[in-house]
Chains A and B, each alone.
Chain A
């Protein structure tokens, strides 16, 4: 996992990483990715396979593997977030400490919400506050054009948080009537972030990454053309995207996001790749504290990415935090 630490606000290489924690972050991405593909996509799609009842002997163990991946991802993510709080808190910069406070607030409210002590409105409000507290840290590591996808990602999640809070308010009899434009705005920003994500990589040179992007993008587009209702509801439940916009945009976004993650990894910017993967796997839907936690961890990693990736594959510890 990446443990961003700030020794001074002006320091370029201001974060330090830890080999084991980097591994922990990678393991979280792998477990969450497995959970996404098996539990959130496969088990929700397999039911439509004609003659599905005959395939139950295969379906049950695969589904169980997805469920196990979920629990592993939850444990990895929780440890990751706790370690992030500690590391960000050690930083001297206000952005780092605000980020630590944001993650700590979210984690605390998520736990007491699970125990039934607070309601959905408090949880959604804490999520929104956590993103706003973490945003300066997450965006601080980007400059120039590479800042565009990061800003769009954070803005998309903020709008999603506002939308979720509005829905929770509706449960208390308050209706502000912004639901549609908030949801549509969040969707536009999220797609924009994905389409702009290749700006993080620079000129397209990696053919393997390009091939992955084309395959995933074309598969998404073909799925939307062949069975829009299923693919759209999968997008809604997994990523918080309702499918308002033309299908080709979703194919483009899926392809661009995949290309970016693979290309970043191939270019040695593994930390940035992991951060982007966490945010994309979590989605903007605020579906559960698990998925929201993935996004917050991703934002924290994005803020640390530039320094640690610049340090290359050798984890660097800078200064005496």
Chain B
């Protein structure tokens, strides 16, 4: 979405003199103020806080022990394992890509740069179903390479490689779009000084650039990881939903939910919700270090 996703919380912004301004301490402004706060809280309570609380209420509906035993189910364990393996491959690959893209875009001026940035953001604007479908069209049984792959006994769709490709497509921009504005904002002076003084490229990157961007990088990686573990639509299209084999955690939630195994479904959901919470905590810690992204 073309550099258009502002995800940064705002600093404390309230001017201390707000209440002392002329005409600002009337009863009308007090009513407006409380009305706005009440509407905001009610909106968030219904739409966000109630569903979040429901996840844990449903997961613990039959007590803590049942909650814990639901993780002993072999299919659930297989789903957790697959999700971890998938993220363990996808996140590092996208991190390397993000670093490379940010270096090329932030450190150099070249023609077509804005086109490149838009293309990197492209997966954010595309329906996850389409992100998965493109790989089915390429590698599915009736896809372009389907027959060739079958002759050589290689399975991509309905198998781990397809899941990884679809996840990679969806989470492709996250590290890059955290790093590009950060590195642009930090400028090139220190790197140029290091190079001029005789440091090599890699040494400059590891000793000069990396320490400067480490918090932004950390947030990008954490966010990429949360999206990789939680992706549903794209993975759903390529996975084939084979229990214990190609079900990631979100897909396993769907199966358990459709089987009316609500404790099981919400137990897995609670893990992903905690991951999302952790992601937001890291985001706020990173912002407290002084770095503000977009």
Please determine whether chains A and B interact with each other in the same assembly.
no
Residues of A with Cβ closer than 8 Å to B? none
Binding site for A on B (CB under 8 A): none
